[in-house]
Amino acid sequence: ISEDLFLLNEIDLNIIQNALDEQQYALCVIDSIQTIYSPDITSAPGSISQVREVTFALMRLAKERNISIFIIGHITKEGSIAGPRILE
């Protein structure tokens, strides 16, 4: 693995944001959005409110820090979006 690649195995949005604050990154990949949660929201990870709020927070983060963030949302074997359809 390259020295220029930083991997973080985390689902807490606050910890992800803190990690992005520590250094200037050009790119961030979130895999998958259905697993990330904000402790400020009382619903379960993958719920409509969690996916919506985490996505909006990541969009703000991307704009504030001028970083490209790729958000991956998984699909089921049938080809439909896993979890809430809000990602459509």
Q: In the chain, what are the domain boundaries?
A: 13-87
pLDDT bucket at 36, cuts 50 / 70 / 90? very high
Does the structure show a pLDDT above 80 at 82? Answer: no
pLDDT bucket at 78, cuts 50 / 70 / 90? confident
Place of tokens 């991307």: 62
Identify the CA nearest to 57 among candidates 73, 37, 86, 35.
37
pLDDT bucket at 28, cuts 50 / 70 / 90? very high
Enter the pTM of the model: 0.84
Per-residue exposure over 7-38, b if at least 16 CB sit within 10 Å of its own CB, e if not:
eeeeeebeebeeebeeeeeeebebebbbbbbb
